[in-house]
Amino acid sequence: MAIDDEDGGGGGAGQPGRLILTVYGLYARERGGWLPIAGLVRLLAECGVNVQAVRSAIHRLKRRGLVDAQRRAGTAGYALTPGAYGLLAEGDVRIFGHARGALDDGWVLVVFSVPDTERAKRHQLRSTLTRLGFGTVSPGTWIAPRHLQDATIEALERAGLTGFTQVFAGPHVAGGDMADLVSAWWDLDGLQELYADFLDRFEPAGTRWLGGTGDDARAFVDLVDMLTTWRRLPYADPGLPLDLLPPGWNGQRAQELFSALSARLREPAASHVEALLGPAQQADEPSPASRAG
């Protein structure tokens, strides 16, 4: 459910557009892909976002082609577009099923050459590979763990970039220590800082919820806040093999906290949403939070 957004507005636990996408990813698909704007405003108010910020953010998402304005049973609201469904489904796999590679898995390489007349495509290609979590070997050669092979091919096809790229997969057989190479191709110190920030922010919630109880409204706010914060991390960290990472890699502890806390919060948070919006009546597919076990 990770759709990158460019929302510049502040508010609440995170930028309004990111919070809205989290709420849609968790709850809209089991409601026919649609949420009433009044209900969305009420939910986001609990996350500290005022009505004007919600309306401005949803209009930006509409301009980006992620939601469409629709009235259902006389009620104004916004529905996910087909493109948004695809991106949310891709995000579900990455976020809730975050895979970590093993040394024996090998690597996927993307080699590209884009003419100067297609500079926009070059920028799009680099942005796509960055979002997938690739490291940079050289300006035209990018690398990721082998388990991202299928996601990479699908992303390049969807973006219309296959004509500029060659994709290879295989093991590293010679040419330096792989741990040293990984530390040069990825900003591991920066990743450690991101994971440390996540742990500092949400370990208190983990202590509170995993060792006790709380009300449904608090569960909703904590789940949306945590997932909005976490959503970028499985993309910044493509699941590099633990054998190649520094000792005491805190990403493992952060992943465990996210998994345990999201499992603990999903039912009371969903109960709160149902209390505000009513029961889901037009289900497209179960939300990823309801599938996570």
Q: Which residues pair with 70 in a beta bridge?
A: 77
Q: What percent of the chain has pLDDT over 90?
A: 67
Question: What are 197's two structure tokens?
Answer: 């920030």
Q: What are phi and psi of 132, to 5 degrees?
A: -75, -15
% helix / strand / coil in the chain, to the nearest 5? 60, 10, 30
pLDDT digits over 26-37, tens only? 999 999 999 999
pLDDT at 81 over 70: yes
144 contact partners, CB below 8 Å, separation of at least 6: 107, 108, 110, 129, 132, 133, 134, 135, 152, 238
pLDDT score recorded for residue 176: 87
CA–CA separation, 54 vs 24, rounded Å? 13
| Side-chain-side CA neighbours of residue 280 (13 Å) | 19
- pTM for this one? 0.84
pLDDT digits over 230-285, tens only? 998 988 889 999 999 998 899 999 999 999 999 999 999 999 999 999 887 654 55
| Side-chain-side CA neighbours of residue 83 (13 Å) | 12
As a whole number, mean pLDDT of residues 177-189 equals 94
Length of the chain: 293
CA–CA separation, 137 vs 124, rounded Å? 18
Return the exposure string of 227-258: e unless at least 16 CB atoms fall within 10 Å of the residue's CB, then b. bbbbbbbbbbbbbbbeebbeeebbbeebbebb
Higher-confidence residue of 115 and 69: namely 69
As a whole number, mean pLDDT of residues 76-92 equals 90
2 SS3 class: coil
Domains and CATH numbers, the chain: 107-170 (3.30.70.240), 188-272 (no CATH)
Look at 13-17, 98-102, 165-169, 178-182 and tell me which has the smallest mean pLDDT.
13-17
Q: What is the mean pLDDT of the chain?
A: 88
pLDDT digits over 145-177, tens only? 999 999 899 889 988 888 888 999 999 988 889
As a whole number, mean pLDDT of residues 197-209 equals 95
Whether the Cβ atoms of residue 141 and residue 281 lie closer than 8 Å to each other? no
As a whole number, mean pLDDT of residues 218-232 equals 95
Split at pLDDT 50, 70, 90, the class of 121 is confident
pLDDT score recorded for residue 163: 87
CA–CA separation, 155 vs 94, rounded Å? 13
pLDDT score recorded for residue 292: 46
Q: Which residues pair with 138 in a beta bridge?
A: 141
Q: What are phi and psi of 25, to 5 degrees?
A: -65, -35
